[in-house]
């Protein structure tokens, strides 16, 4: 339940975009990221800004659903069918977690497509960083490295 205290705690006020990480969120995420390598080209952008950009792109370009593949919570598929989380996962062939499905909110009427064909891309388990980037490069967006001049 949202109370004045929880609204303050989860407020996005003061952030450039509502998808940007708060300082508290960054303190949780930063230790999970790989440390910069001592050799090679240094990062052109701070790692926090890269993570913020990923969240911005994800929020604006994809419909996101947190799904418990064994759960009973009711979810609504694109064609209006109401299913338990478990049946939804079975319909889309999700057999393990974590699995992330990417659905474009701009797709032309996904109701008339087979469930697996509604996805733009799928990430099963936790891929290596290069595999993760390949999902975006090959399936989702024309991601280009930022230019510095």
Band (144; pLDDT cuts 50, 70, 90): very low
Please state the domain count of the chain: 1
Within a domain: residue 39?
Answer: no
Within a domain: residue 88?
Answer: yes
Residue-level pLDDT at 115: 73
Q: What is the pLDDT of residues 67-103, one digit of tens each?
A: 788 889 998 888 888 999 899 989 888 877 767 777 7
Distance CA 128, CA 69 (A): 23
Within a domain: residue 14?
Answer: no
Within a domain: residue 134?
Answer: yes
SS3 call for 100 = strand
Residue-level pLDDT at 82: 94
Encoded tokens for 2: 């949202």
Question: What's this model's pTM, rounded to 2 decimal places?
Answer: 0.51
Residue-level pLDDT at 74: 92
- Specify the higher pLDDT residue, 8 or 147: 8
Distance between first and last Cα of the chain = 48
Within a domain: residue 148?
Answer: no
Q: What is the pLDDT of residues 45-54, one digit of tens each?
A: 888 998 898 8
Cis amide prior to 37 (ω within 30 degrees): no
Q: Could you tell me the residue range of the domain that residue 132 belongs to?
A: 46-143
Within a domain: residue 139?
Answer: yes
Lowest mean pLDDT among 87-91, 111-115, 135-139: 135-139
Within a domain: residue 13?
Answer: no
Residue-level pLDDT at 40: 83
Within a domain: residue 63?
Answer: yes
């Amino acid at each position: 339940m949202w109370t004045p205290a929880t609204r303050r705690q989860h407020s996005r006020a003061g952030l450039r975009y509502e998808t940007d990480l708060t300082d508290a969120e960054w303190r949780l995420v930063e230790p999970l990221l790989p440390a910069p390598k001592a050799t090679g080209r240094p990062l052109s952008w701070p790692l926090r800004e890269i993570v913020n950009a990923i969240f911005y792109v994800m929020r604006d370009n994809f419909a996101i659903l947190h799904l418990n593949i064994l759960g009973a919570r009711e979810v609504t598929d694109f064609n209006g069918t109401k299913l338990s989380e478990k049946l939804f996962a079975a319909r889309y062939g999700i057999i393990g977690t974590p699995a992330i499905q990417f659905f474009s909110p701009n797709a032309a009427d996904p109701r008339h497509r087979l469930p697996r064909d509604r996805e733009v891309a799928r990430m099963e388990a936790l891929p290596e960083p290069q595999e993760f980037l390949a999902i975006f490069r090959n399936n989702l967006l024309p991601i280009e490295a930022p230019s510095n001049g």
